[in-house]
Amino acid sequence: MKKSPLMSLESALEVVISQAREAPMKAEEVSTFEADARVLMTDLMSPLDVPARDNSAMDGYALRSADLLDVNTTLEVTQRIPAGTTGQPLLAGQAARIFTGAWVPEGADAVLMQEACELVGDRLRPQGPVSKGQWIRKQGEDVKLGDVVLKAGVRLNPASLGLAASIGQAKLLVAKKPRVALFSTGDELVMPGDTAPNDMKPGAIYNSNRFFLRALLIRLGCDVTDLGNVPDDRDATLDALSFAAQGHDLILTSGGVSVGEEDHVKPSVQALGALNLWSLSMKPGKPFALGHIDASSPGGTKTHFMGLPGNPVSSFVTFLVLVRPFLLALQNASLVLPQVQSLPAHFDLPKADPRREFLRVKRNDRGGLDIFKNQSSGVLTSCVWGDGLIDNPSGQTIKHGDWVTYLPFAELLS
């Protein structure tokens, strides 16, 4: 029987993102304090100028630059303006003691930092040059009234929360958190702590996938229901899927999406909904499943399903390149694909692979990338040692010094 051609990652991503965009998450209002990593659902327009008035960027003295054309001039200090208070207009020959953030009084057009001043009684003798506008933050220089400071679809971060707060936003309209049910399949899986290493049965392995998948989901703003390990049994798999479909937006599994006799995920999902089982042209991570579980009640919505391979590195990489974009698209994010960099390879890869490879690498102190020697899909050590992936096209060798496409984990894991 002739094998079907492998599906390209680009084609898979197109389908995955399209499916997520069909029925994105609804909106909810949350405290700006709690909005980190959430996706903004509406443009945020400023109701004010920031700063609201010209203010001092330094502790020092506000003055009129025209008064200091003569280097021997001294000025009378007539007032003190702390932040949060309003001073009186400044007349010719006068200066005002002013503090960082305080509004610059009418008439003043410069601030001289206190380190460049000599004070004799109530007279100020400037000790440095003064130019018009120095050390003054101009009204609206950060944000102007009516500016759109944050666009719908942006994924909020600490800086954007501060920006939202600076225009008076105590609450923000964001996408609801996706509710994800997670489980692993396989009779060989053992949870850490349940069995000591010396007591493990032949062929048993600790379930590492459950730990990193749960952590990745939480980092992407999901509410996770961990359903544990499901044995290699058709009825148990059907029960787990039926339960997971209730009250969740996505069911994510690892293992059981191959075509072996003990892989029950495929027929179980098909019995409850629909499934596409793809052989992807990528390494690691060839087997991947995308489908849905039908709604069990009238007017209900379908529950998305995504099945990852069981090998840990395959599961890890496939999550980053396919599940991550899906979840971001589901939350209405405008940017769902990672920002890539171009860096030189400091190694040789003389043998080309017919599949698109994601190589575990690490930046070195010479500005290039070193490769982890063992690129096996079972060596999770490579993902801890490395700080990113090289996205290497199918059929392409790499020579030392070649520029390659680098995807930093700092981008992929946030």
List the chain pLDDT tens, one digit each, 414 residues: 456 689 999 999 999 999 999 999 999 999 999 999 999 999 999 999 999 999 999 999 999 999 988 878 899 999 999 999 999 999 999 999 999 999 999 999 999 999 998 988 889 998 878 999 999 999 999 999 999 999 999 999 999 999 999 999 999 999 999 999 999 888 788 888 888 988 888 888 888 999 999 999 999 999 999 998 888 888 999 999 999 999 999 999 998 776 554 578 888 999 999 998 889 999 999 899 999 999 775 556 799 999 999 899 999 999 999 999 999 999 999 999 999 999 999 999 999 999 999 999 999 999 999 999 999 999 999 999 999 999 999 999 999 999 999 999 999 998
Q: Half-sphere exposure (CA, 13 Å, Cβ side) for 327?
A: 31
The fold of 27-49+142-175 is Molybdopterin biosynthesis moea protein, domain 2 (3.90.105)
Q: Matching CATH topology for 9-25+177-330 and 27-49+142-175?
A: no
| Res 32: pLDDT | 98
- Up-side HSE of residue 21: CA atoms within 13 Å toward CB? 12
Question: Which CATH fold would you assign to the domain 341-412?
Answer: Beta-clip (2.40.340)
Distances, alpha carbon 79 to alpha carbons 92, 132, 170, 348, in Å: 14, 20, 35, 71
Q: What is the model's pLDDT at position 231?
A: 85
What are the residue boundaries of the structural domains of the chain, listed by start?
9-25+177-330, 27-49+142-175, 55-137, 341-412
Residue 191: its pLDDT value, please? 82
State the CB neighbour count (10 A cutoff) for residue 369: 23
Please give the backbone phi and psi of residue 5, each rounded to the nearest 5 degrees, phi first.
-65, 150
234: left (phi over 0), alpha (psi -120 to 50) or beta: alpha
> What topology does CATH give the domain 55-137?
Molybdopterin biosynthesis moeA protein; domain 3 (2.170.190)
Beta-carbon count within 10 A of 93 CB: 13
pLDDT (0 to 100) of residue 1: 47
Give the pLDDT score at 167: 97
What CA–CA distance (Å, rounded) separates 244 from 230? 12
**Which is nearest to 304 in space by CA: 16, 28, 41?**
16
The fold for domain 9-25+177-330 equals: Molybdenum Cofactor Biosythetic Enzyme; Chain A (3.40.980)
Instruction: Report pTM.
Output: 0.89
